[in-house]
Each structure stands twice: as structure tokens, then as C-alpha cells.
Chain A
Amino acid sequence: MSLLRKEHSVLPGFGLSLGFTLAYLGLIVLVPLSAAFLKTAGMSWDEFVAAVASPRVMAAYRLSFFASLAAATVNACFGLIVAWVLVRYTFPGKRIVDALVDLPFALPTAVAGIALTAIYAKNGWLGQWLEPHGVKVAFTEIGVFVALTFVGLPFVVRTLQPVLEELEPEIEEASASLGANRWQTISRVLLPELFPALLTGFALSFARALGEYGSVVFISGNMPMRTEIVPLLIITKLEQYDYRGATAIAVVMLTASFALLLLINLLQKWSRRHHRV
């Protein structure tokens, strides 16, 4: 421990706290995670490619990627509006609405999954009105998109809110006094100021959607090649005792997630530097 330390501190407990932190982190997170990579390392390259690039898996990647992208985009647009309304305007019940935004964080995903299915199924709350018009939501790609939008909803709102609150009203006044109309002020001054936070929220929402399982499996119908998401494919392989195949797909997903995590960290650093004056 003393090797790691840069300077002496009079506060006791460095060795104890860091030792415990590293041991716990190692046992709970790092060792089990490394098991996935080590297991894959035992596969031959052809075996690996066969497992992660079969047509069924490719279809699942496509669905997971595009449905997550669509959900994150919708969340970025509406999240911006929700954050703007919550910070700038007043209306009755605002505090309740503000608290409710976190519902997707608090509501178990399985509960969200069956609730969304009950709403959008053929005879469901909204489904019975939509299906006669040819709009099928449950058991289609649209259903996957709806569930992913639900789980990613709070991210954009919660990353934008503090940035919007700290934005000085003076920059809008400066823009207005220089002759810009309201739309020019929003598009040229406000949105560029908010952009790093908006992008961070989008990336967080996208990352969450990629890995989501519980809320999707009920509404997607899980048809191979059509409505099967990547996490579901891992479960399917496990149920067939194909541990290697499941782990190989998991490694592909983990790599994508870690790249996203790295990107999000860089984004946050960028947005912090951007906002330090």
C-alpha cells in the first residue's frame, strides 16, 4: 500500500480502506468478469466467429443496436423538452412530475415489462385501439423500442437538469440584446451549451438500452431472427447448456459496453472542461 501512496496524510485508515476496497472489488467484480474473457480465450478463432457471427446472432445485434439507437434518440428529444419544462416553467404538480421521472430507475424491469405488454397487447389498454388501425406494438420491433425508451428515459433528463439550472440567464440576455431572435438564441447559444450534456445523456440511455433484458422479454415475443435481443440470446444459449456460445456473445457485448463507458467518461470530462470558466 505504501508503494501506491503519493504523500503522507495524518488521517489513519489508508491501508485498511484501500485494502478492503480492492479485495471486495476484485472478488465481486473483477474475478468473475475475467472468467468471461478467459473462457472465450479457450475457444479457437473459428469457433468464436461461428458463435458470435451466425445469422441469428447478427439479427439480434441489429435489433439491439437499432432499437437502442431509436430509443435513445427519442429520449434525447423528449428528455430535452422534459428537462427544459421542469427547470424553466412552473405548473401545478411539478414536484410530483419531477420525482416520477426516476420511476424507470425504481420500478423493477420485469414489472415494467408485463405492464407495457398489458398496455400494447392485442386486447390491451392501447392495443385494442391501435391494432384495428394496423399498428402492432407488442411482439414486434416497436414493442422492443417502447420498452427500451421506458428504461432509458431518466438519463437525458437527469444529466441535462443540473446543466440547465446552472446556465446563467445573462447569456440569453446577451444574445437577445445583440439582436438574435428567440429561435436563434436557442439554436446558436443554448443548444451548443447543452450539447455535451445531451450527448452524455444519450450515450447513457443507449448503453442502458443495449444491455436491457427484463422489460423487453415480455413485450418482444422473442421470435428468432425478428424480435430476439442479444441478452435474450445469451439466456437461450445458457438454457441449451451452450456455455461457450453464451460467453462468446457476452464478451462481444462487454467489449461494446466498455467502449461506451470509456466514451461516456471522455464526454463527461469534455463537458466539465467546457463548463469551467
Chain B
Amino acid sequence: MSVHATNIRKTFGAFTALGGVDLNVPAGKLVALLGPSGSGKTTLLRIVAGLEQADPGSGPISFHGEDVTNVPAGKRKVGFVFQHYALFRHMTVFENIAFGLKVRPRRDRPPASDIADRVQKLLKLVQLEGLDARFPTQLSGGQRQRVALARALAVEPKVLLLDEPFGALDAKVRKDLRRWLRRFHEEIHLTTLFVTHDQEEALEIADEVVIMNQAKIEQVGTPQEVYDRPASPFVYQFLGNVNVLRAPALAPTVGAPALMRDGQLYVRPHDIGVAPYVPGFTGLIAEIRSIHAAGPQARLTVEQLPGRELIEVELSRAELVGLSLNLNDRVCLRLRQSHSFNDDYEI
């Protein structure tokens, strides 16, 4: 089931959380809402869920063509997983998962044996078999997260919404769980929208990424698209490390045709090639200021020579060994790929 939200606005007093955004989630896809904190992504998710109401004049919000703008949260058939899980502490894992079924009106409520069956199936699906009698306080963070997911899935939602699903977990569990979520999505193909501020997470598991900044959507696309062809300086900077080179410093040396006279050039550290200095080289020349060889990639900080700008460079360790560089060595830089944006764009 697809989700369409049109012209969603939301203000809290003087603060604009959403400044008229359009969101489309194609049926069966896993879509990430990515942005820094305060960009409005959680508010948008909560409006889609019906937990928050958009300002008058917004909308409509439709699920598979059906207008749900005035449908309350409990009747939208969405599964919502909260950042801090919001499990019911006085209920066991079983009771938590069964809750959505047990609160149905009597005529729609499945018999107790069916409920028990479904809970067991869900426990198996989220790999928590045998933990049904535990209380939430007796589970680890990752287990609680999966109980919250099973609870949301028990009501057979048409759309799954997750708010920072891995935000409260430590780094190791986070990585395991997000791969698990991807595999899980491939199994059930439920339309899923999740909020995250972690670009690595979004790029790794989403089919499509919606990048938000300051109450607006900056770009929508596949992970590859947004990484390779960022639509704005913000997206470029948000999706990984970047060097911003100013035009005047480059003007005498680089003949980049796309570069305006007072524009800026965006280069990722791993898109810069390093070669030993040859006298008479007309490109970028720099001196090595620091070398960090720990980790999978070596990182250099170099100072560009006439311009005195510091540039970060990433290269493989094999390359570093091959170059046998020392501090204050002079090197030539080659930009394998760079971007420029026609200005009047604020970062």
C-alpha cells in the first residue's frame, strides 16, 4: 500500500517543523526519512501515523488512494515503532504483542487461541521464541526493539512506521539489527517508512532515501542517486565527509569548466588522488601536514600551497606505503570527481 502526503505543514508556536512538504512512499518499499535533528522528519512520521495533526490547509494524506486525513491513529492500520519502544511495563512480552488484538471490538476480535498462535508466529519472526513470559525490563535493548516491532506487526498494518528504530542501541547491536531489518523487509515486503539521522544506516538499507533539512525535503532518490548526484550542498555535506574548496584559491590552477568564478567546489576525500611532486605541475600542489595510518583507510591532511587551505584526503594503505610520504613533503593532487552548485544556496 502506497502512502501519499501532500503539502504538509506543521508549526509549534513560532517554530516551523514542516514547511509544506510532499511525501510519496511507493508500495512495498523501504524508505528512509533522513535528516539532522530538528529537520522535521519525526514530525512528518507522526503526522503520517495520525499521532500528530498537520496544520489546517495541509493535506490530504492518502493510503493507496484512500484519504485518511481525518482518520484517527488507531484506525489507520499503521504499525508504529517508537524510538524508546514504549512497551507496556506491566505486561509480559506476550501480552504486549497481543494487546492490539485484544482491544478490538468483540465482533472483530480473534478467539484467544488464534491470538496465541499469531503471537507465537510473530515471536518466531522476530527471533524471540521462548521469551513470551518475560517482562520488558528483563530484556536487552535489541530484544525490546524487536518486541516493539512484533507488537506493531500483530495488528497486520498496511504501513510500518519506525521512529529512529536503532537510535537507543549501541553500535554493534545497531549494525546487526539494521541488516536484520533489511532481510526482514525482503521477506514480508510491507511498505515501510523509517526515520534516522544516521546517513550510513539510511544508505545501507533503504530502497529510497528522503533527505530533509530545516522543515523541507532536499532530495528524494535511491541511495546511489543521492550519494552520487546530491541535489544541494547540504545533501553533499550530510552524506559523508567533504572538502569545500573556494574558487579564488583554485582559479589559477584548476581549469574546471563547471566552476563559477566565486563558486565553491565540493570534493570527497576519497576522490582526491595523490602523486609525488613533479616540478612544473600545473594542477593543485600541497604539502603534507599530518598522516593518520590507523584504520582501514589512511587519512592525510594537506595544505594547499598558494591558497593555504587544509584539505582532507583518503587513500588506501597500500597506496600510502607506495608513496612513502613524510610530513612536509610536497605532493600533486588530482580531483577524480567534484561537484559545484550554482550558488544562492545556503548551507
Contact = CB atoms under 8 A, between A and B. Distances in A.
11 contacts: A168-B84, A171-B86, A171-B87, A173-B86, A174-B80, A174-B151, A178-B74, A178-B151, A178-B154, A181-B103, A193-B88
Contacts of A175: 88, 99, 103
- Interface class of chain A by DSSP: helix
Contacts of B75: 179
Interface of B: 49-51, 72-76, 78-80, 82, 84, 86-91, 99-100, 103-104, 136-137, 151-152, 154-155
Contact of B84 (A170, A178, A180): A170
A276 B135 CA distance: 12
A22 B84 CA distance: 45
Given A170-B84, A177-B73, A274-B89, A188 B137 contact: no
Interface of A: 168, 170-171, 173-181, 184, 188-189, 192-193, 195, 274-277
B186 to A, nearest CB: 25
Contacts of A173: 51, 73, 80, 82, 86
B103 to A, nearest CB: 4
B89 A277 contact: yes
Given A274-B89, A277-B136, A177 B104 contact: no
A94 B91 CA distance: 34
Contacts of B136: 277
A180 to B, nearest CB: 4
Nearest to A276: B137
A170 B82 contact: yes
B86 A178 contact: no
B100 A179 contact: yes
Q: Which 4 A-B pairs have the closest CB atoms?
A: A178-B100, A170-B86, A180-B103, A174-B86
Given A178-B155, A274-B89, A274-B90, 9 more contacts: A168-B86, A175-B99, A175-B103, A177-B51, A178-B100, A179-B103, A179-B155, A276-B137, A277-B137
A273 to B, nearest CB: 8
A174 B97 CA distance: 12
Contacts of A274: 89-90
A269 B183 CA distance: 42
B191 to A, nearest CB: 16
A176 B91 CA distance: 16
Contact of A177 (B74, B87, B88, B89): B74
Contacts of B89: 193, 274-275, 277
B155 A171 contact: no
A210 to B, nearest CB: 29
A181 B74 contact: yes
B73 A184 contact: no
Contacts of A174: 80, 82, 86-88, 151
Contacts of A188: 99, 103
A179 B88 contact: no
Given A170-B84, A189-B88, A193-B90, A177 B103 contact: no
A173 B72 CA distance: 11
Nearest to A173: B51
A277 B85 CA distance: 11
Nearest to B74: A179
Contacts of B154: 178
Contact of A180 (B74, B78, B86, B152): B74
Contacts of A193: 88-90
A243 B344 CA distance: 94
A192 B90 CA distance: 7
Contacts of B80: 173-174, 177
